[in-house]
A and B are shown apart, each in its own frame.
Chain A
């Protein structure tokens, strides 16, 4: 029992901090630079990513293990299959939320279609589901519980990095930056320095 708990805790921390999806693996950078202008949208985006990513990995895990593998078509159909599952799932969730929970829809709604084609969701779903894509041990496939915990960890790491970066960018607005570097170039260098901190964590817990 304890061992299982420790395994899950390590998986969570490893996915969130040691292998942070944004700053040490560069997955999902478009929203990282796109929405980090304002603190409020960053919170919304972080929440929406947590929600969609968990749903997407759950759905693709079921789809992969119960449909693609028994039919023997996983190797060459996984790309179109996963992206279609994720896209249609997000569409249904959006329609359901608009009817059933309007207040939640107002805070998360505008971000939902934005994430359909976000590489972070597809990458996490692929890694959590298809054996061979998970970096740490190569031919290892996740069980259902592990896949969900791993996905939640990745999404938490995404939100944490996004919100930190948004806070830094608000201060950057008033900083005296050389004219050539103003705006996006400076944002990249800030992200580089932030990522330097995460590199310090690599190798922790043997992950």
Chain B
């Protein structure tokens, strides 16, 4: 149980996929203009990551090393298809907003990277802990980023048609925060903040790695 908790917590802090490992950036920066979009994107990633980690860990004895990547991709693609069709049916507005990013969860480095680096070598219960932790770490960062951008940029936060917070009418937000440059710049400050926090709490420099783990794995 102790091992389970420590695996689970790693994804949230010291091995956070976004601010530390730097994987799965594309979707994060692109859909973080709206709080609700980011919320459902985070939910979709938590679901796909947990389920695919579990399934990969369950079948890891049957999967030969040479063809593991295509098999992982098929596993992930089937869960993404479930998310794709479910969202299309029940949340059509969110589905239109997320657009091409739903099918792109298949090639999101977080999911393939965790299947390759963790779930393939560990037992199912630990793989679920890793998937949940990494997924929630991803969701937390993307939701914080989207909240900051929507709040600063437009002065209000809307969730499924209801306004949660609204600044008084005289507030004119800097529109650039909602555009593409704003995402890069705010995320840059978030990475710097997370790095400083990790240094203070864990007393060591956490090396940021700007690459996909899967890229090296696939070349073999």
Known contacts being A34-B211, A79-B77, A84-B73, is A199 close to B179, with CB within 8 Å?
Answer: yes
B107 A189 Cβ-Cβ under 8 A: no
In the assembly, what is the distance between CA of A167 and CA of B25, in Å? 21
21 residue pairs bridging A and B, Cβ less than 8 Å apart: A26-B183, A27-B100, A30-B211, A34-B211, A34-B212, A34-B215, A79-B80, A84-B73, A87-B69, A87-B73, A113-B218, A117-B73, A123-B100, A127-B100, A183-B208, A186-B188, A187-B188, A188-B187, A188-B191, A192-B185, A195-B181
Q: What does DSSP make chain B's interface, helix, strand, loop or mixed?
A: helix
**Contact assessment for B112 and A84 in the assembled complex, using a CB-CB cutoff below 8 Å:** no
Q: How many residues of B contact A (CB 8 A)?
A: 50
**A59 to chain B: which residues have CB within 8 Å?**
none
Are B184's CB and A117's CB within 8 A? no
Contacts of B74 in A (CB 8 A): 80, 84
B184 touches A191 (CB 8 A): yes
Residue B44 at the chain A interface, CB threshold 8 Å: no
Q: Whole-angstrom distance between the alpha carbons of A127 and B215 in the complex? A: 24
- Assuming the A-B contacts A79-B81, A117-B107, are A30 and B25 also in contact, with contact meaning beta carbons closer than 8 angstroms in the complex? yes
CB of A193 within 8 A of CB of B181, answer: yes
- Please name the residue on chain A nearest to B102 by beta carbon: A79
Give Cα A159–Cα B104 distance, bound, in whole angstroms.
Answer: 21
A120-135 CB contacts (< 8 Å) to partner B = 122-123, 126-127, 133, 135
A185 sits at the interface (CB 8 A): yes
With a cutoff of 8 Å between Cβ atoms, the chain A residues found around residue B189 in the complex are 185, 189
